[in-house]
Structure 1
Amino acid sequence: MHKGIDVALAGLTHSRRDLLALLGGAAALAAGPDLAQAQGEPTEASVLRDPDNPVLGNPDGDISIVEWFDFNCPYCRKLEPELRQVVQDDGKVRLVLKDWPILGPVSVLASRVALACKYQGKYDKAHDALIGVSSKLTEPRIYELIAGADVDVDRTKQDLAANAKAIDGMLARNNETAEGLGFQGTP
């Protein structure tokens, strides 16, 4: 987080909702004044309500936190427990997860595999396993981690093959939206 934001947060004694609003505003400022107008502005629905993006917490919550992340991003890994704590502490928060694999081919594979786990109802388990490691992911490690999270690896591979077009389409939408907002990195 930006040093000035850290200082501002340290001095606050407001509610978690106030902090969420401040963090949301800080994220918007970090995106810069020009939100990549050449690509068109993303809509609220494309950011908050893409039905293909996994949602943790309360799916009908009145506060939405949207995280663009890469499984190989060390900052994303560091932020994850904080986000989960917010979701746990406030039953009205919905956490929208936008897989945005920008750190190379293994990141793309990790996102595709995690998203294929959705078809078993185990995206959250795959996500937790992949984001919870401290080392860089490799292809064998991805499958080892999801197997350890009680995910059927063979079925995941079948679901990935059968649903590749839908998964890749969602990843493309996440990328277009992130670029449309002017994001230059994760989280």
Structure 2
Amino acid sequence: MKRRTILAGASLAAAATWLPGLRPGHAATAAVAPQALFFDADAPVLGNPQGDVQIAEFFDYQCSWCKRTHAETMQVVEQDGGVRLVKKDWPVFGPASVFAAQAVLGSARLGHYRRAMDTLMAQSGALTSESILSSLATAGLDIEALRGVVNAESDRIGNLLTRNWHQAEAFAFIGTPSFVIGRTAYPGVLDREALKRAIDRARG
């Protein structure tokens, strides 16, 4: 499967690597190895990098539920203190979502991943390339520096998005948000209490 990128021009096409290892949860029947899912060297990490509970959240910057629960998810992670969170860009809502993912992943290389992510998650309505860049500029990011980073690292970013896409397919996720917490997959929204229960279950 291919998705056309906007900011960098790389295509999202690669062979999936499906390996056993995670316990099926709901629709998930096969999955990539935990090392690949939770410890991709190209994926920025939030929460506690040394945390004892691993979370991978598959999301899209145009997903209304992802936006609605983002702040709550971050609060749970920060209050727990022992969670390592990897946000898995899964741009299922088209070219603007791919553009947003590229922009925020590029921002990570400039040291502004969380600021860029929070900015776009707080933006209401459908995204466009113009609105994304305008919002990031208002948040204080250097857009020309960002363009340079994303274009220079188009292959790295494109390959990361490809791996994320195939991981979501491996779990048979059908939409965003979807989570893998510890060794269990959770397709769909998790509110504050459900997320806490899932973390406790992974830890227990």
Alignment TM class, shorter chain as reference: 0.7 to 0.9
Aligned-partner SS, 2:56: strand
Specify the alignment match of 1:62 in structure 2.
52
Structure 1: which amino acid aligns with 2:41?
A: P
TM-score computed with the length of structure 1 as normaliser: 0.79
Q: What CA distance in whole angstroms lies between the structure 2 residues aligned with 1:57 and 1:148?
A: 25
Specify the alignment match of 1:96 in structure 2.
86
Q: What CA distance in whole angstroms lies between the structure 2 residues aligned with 1:167 and 1:49?
A: 15
Equivalent residues in 2 for 1:103-122 (5 A)?
103-122=93-112
Structure 1 residues 28 and 132: CA distance shift in structure 2, 3 A: farther
Instruction: Please list the CA deviations of residues 11-69 of structure 1 after superposition, one character each: whole Å capped at 9, or x if unmatched.
Output: xxxxxxxxxxxxxx9x931xx1544xxxxx31111111111111111111111221110
Could you tell me whether the CA contact under 8 Å between 1:46 and 1:177 is conserved in 2?
no
Count, aligned residues: 155
Specify the alignment match of 2:73 in structure 1.
83
Which structure shows the bigger proportion of residues in helix conformation? 1
Asked whether 1:154 is paired with 2:155, we answer: no
Specify the alignment match of 2:122 in structure 1.
132
Identity of aligned residues (%): 38
Structure 1: which amino acid aligns with 2:80?
A: D
Q: Mind listing any 5+ residue stretches in structure 1 that lack a counterpart?
A: 1-24, 36-40
Could you tell me whether the CA contact under 8 Å between 2:58 and 2:88 is conserved in 1?
yes
RCO comparison, higher one (Cα < 8 Å, 6+) = 2
Say which one has the larger Rg.
Answer: 1
Runs of 4+ in 1 over 3 A off after TM superposition: none
Q: What CA distance in whole angstroms lies between the structure 2 residues aligned with 1:65 and 1:173?
A: 16
Which residue among 20, 24, 28 is the counterpart of 2:25?
A: 28
Structure 1: which amino acid aligns with 2:53?
A: I
Structure 1 residues 159 and 134: CA distance shift in structure 2, 3 A: same
TM-score computed with the length of structure 2 as normaliser: 0.73
Q: Mind listing any 5+ residue stretches in structure 2 that lack a counterpart?
A: 1-22, 178-204
Once structures 1 and 2 are overlaid, which stretch shifts more, 132-141 or 164-173?
Answer: 132-141
Could you tell me whether the CA contact under 8 Å between 2:56 and 2:87 is conserved in 1?
yes
